[in-house]
Amino acid sequence: MTLQADRFDGRLVLPGDPDFEEAVLGRVFNGRRPDRRPDAVLIVQTVEDVQRGVRLAEERGWTVAVRSGGHAWAAWSVRDGGLLIDLAALNDIDYDPATEIVSAGPATKGGDQLSPFLEERGRFFNGGHCPSVGIGGFLLQGGQGWNQRGWGWAAESVVAVDVVTAEGELIRADARQNSDLFWAARGAGPTFPGIVVRFHIATRPKFGFLGHTVQAYELEDFTEVMTWLYGAHHDISTNVEIVAVSTPTPLPSGEERRVLLVTAVAFERDRAAAQAALAPFNDCPVIDRAIFVVDCAESSLAEQRKQQELQNPEHAQYICDNLWVDGENTPEGIARMVEGIRPLFTTNPTDKGFAIWMSNAPTRRELPDMAFSLQTEAYVASYTVYDDPADYQRNRDWLNEVMAHAQPVTAGQYLGDSDMTNRQLRFMAPENWERLQRIIAERDPAGRFARYLAGDPDTININHWEL
């Protein structure tokens, strides 16, 4: 069968074309490139191209993988064989002031494009921290965004999605129509049985003041600082995002070295409210040993985005893994959790690597009815960041070792920072997993769309030590 490349408004790029490698890998954020290659790449220009691409895949017997922003650490969009549909051109934004709903294409960058667009209109949406992350994969995975401990997961703000089905049809899915796909679109991640070509998202009023508190500690203070933070974070205002990060940091002395930063960002109506919300951080029992303290400095979303870009350099080589930390909220339980995660923060072998602990407390609320369904009161992710491919195995071995150390306090993982080709954990409640499989079987019985990229497809959504 001859491929009719001229049937598309965009371009169908084939292995013999001079820019095939660029089409496959050029928009992959992680500089650690996979050796997998598809049979073709469709660089779409329109939603109609997406529909044509799905129908072409049916003709050819290809599976379909999808790329929105290219930020998946394991490069989920790059598969062996099949068609890669690249949605980069689907990044337009529209806002309805009557409903306060913003609609945007899946390749829209949450921080670089969507957030400034909404800020100009006095609105806000808690998108991803790294500004160049596309909203497509981010929202499909649940959306771990700004201040989720107070405002919920970003996917909770999605009110509708426009989807190209396995038959190449364009449909709307929301709470009233095609509700099975709407349910799956909020948490299924890269096994979603369709291609979301547009998200419709409820927005919130933009806060009046952003206050930023930072405390820097030596790594040997990790246990004391984190023990205090575990005891304190339940009672801090839910308008405050709380993150502890181990990262190389410029210090007042002029040197730069790895320290533990306790950071808190208050999204409040004014400075007085932000100061009151951030006041509990001054009660840290070892604050007198802090290397430096910044107390409720005025900041902005633009400033926060700039810092995130510095933390996440594009095309550096990353290996990442993560866990939902769980344990009893007792002195003994907190001690076990803190010790479980300690090596992730204190022994990173790369100069640019970092680890984050993010508060999600209080989380014992009932989540909306959606595929995303696993969370605990704290989330941890650790990243090695390096430039020389020869360092891969050393860094991979270290990350596997520290994750094994944390296994006794691990409930599962978040899809967005996972690599199931290396380590498979639970990321969804079992009953939600079963429901998702039924939806996939009904909506994509021929397996047109690629499923999770995993080392063992038969043991997905199971903690590997439970097998």
Q: How far apart are CA 416 and CA 189, in angstroms?
A: 8
- The confidence score (pLDDT) of residue 278 equals 98
Amino acid letter, 237: S
Tens of pLDDT, residue by residue over 170-193, are 999 999 999 999 999 999 999 999
Tens of pLDDT, residue by residue over 306-346, are 998 888 888 899 999 999 999 999 999 999 999 999 999 99
Q: How far apart are CA 344 and CA 320, in angstroms?
A: 11
- The confidence score (pLDDT) of residue 3 equals 63
Residue 1: pLDDT band with limits 50, 70, 90: very low
- The confidence score (pLDDT) of residue 163 equals 98
User: Are 337 and 230 in contact, with CB atoms under 8 Å apart?
Assistant: yes
Tens of pLDDT, residue by residue over 111-141, are 999 999 999 999 999 988 999 999 999 999 9
Q: How far apart are CA 74 and CA 399, in angstroms?
A: 15
Q: How far apart are CA 164 and CA 188, in angstroms?
A: 16
Q: Which runs of consecutive H residues, i.e. helices, occur in 233-322?
A: 271-278, 301-311
Residue 366: pLDDT band with limits 50, 70, 90: confident
Q: Flag the least confident range among 44-58, 59-73, 363-377, 386-400.
A: 363-377
- The confidence score (pLDDT) of residue 315 equals 87
pLDDT greater than 50 at residue 48: yes
The torsion defined by the Cα of 176, 178, 179 and 182, in degrees rounded to 10, comes to -120
Residue 460: pLDDT band with limits 50, 70, 90: very high
- The confidence score (pLDDT) of residue 362 equals 81
Phi, psi of 199 (to 5 degrees): -110, 140
Q: Flag the least confident range among 9-13, 18-22, 229-233, 365-369.
A: 365-369
Burial of 375 (0-12, 13-18, 19+ CB in 10 A): buried
Q: Of all residues in the chain, what percent carry a pLDDT higher than 70?
A: 98
Q: Is the dihedral of CA 105, 107, 113, 118 positive or negative?
A: positive
User: Between residues 365 and 349, which one has the greater pLDDT?
Assistant: 349
Q: How far apart are CA 243 and CA 261, in angstroms?
A: 8
pLDDT greater than 50 at residue 26: yes
Task: Find all residues with CB under 8 Å of 226, minimum gap 6, and list them.
Answer: 244, 338, 341, 342, 357
SS (H, E, C) 213-241: EEEEECHHHHHHHHHHHHHHHHHCCCCEE
Q: What is the average pLDDT across 70-91? A: 97
What stretch of H or E contains 348?
Answer: none
Residue 4: pLDDT band with limits 50, 70, 90: low
Q: What is the average pLDDT across 250-266? A: 96
Query: Encoding tokens for residue 417?
Result: 């920072």
Q: What is the average pLDDT across 247-273? A: 96
Q: Flag the least confident range among 102-106, 148-152, 200-204, 289-293.
A: 148-152
Tens of pLDDT, residue by residue over 382-411, are 999 999 999 999 999 999 999 999 999 999
- The confidence score (pLDDT) of residue 5 equals 61
Mean pLDDT in the chain?
96
Q: What is the average pLDDT across 156-173? A: 98
- The confidence score (pLDDT) of residue 172 equals 98
Q: What is the average pLDDT across 363-369? A: 82
pLDDT greater than 70 at residue 447: yes
Tens of pLDDT, residue by residue over 191-235, are 999 999 999 999 999 999 999 999 999 999 999 999 999 999 999
pLDDT greater than 50 at residue 71: yes
Amino acid letter, 375: Q
- The confidence score (pLDDT) of residue 7 equals 86
User: Are 8 and 49 in contact, with CB atoms under 8 Å apart?
Assistant: yes
Rg, Å, the chain Cα set? 22
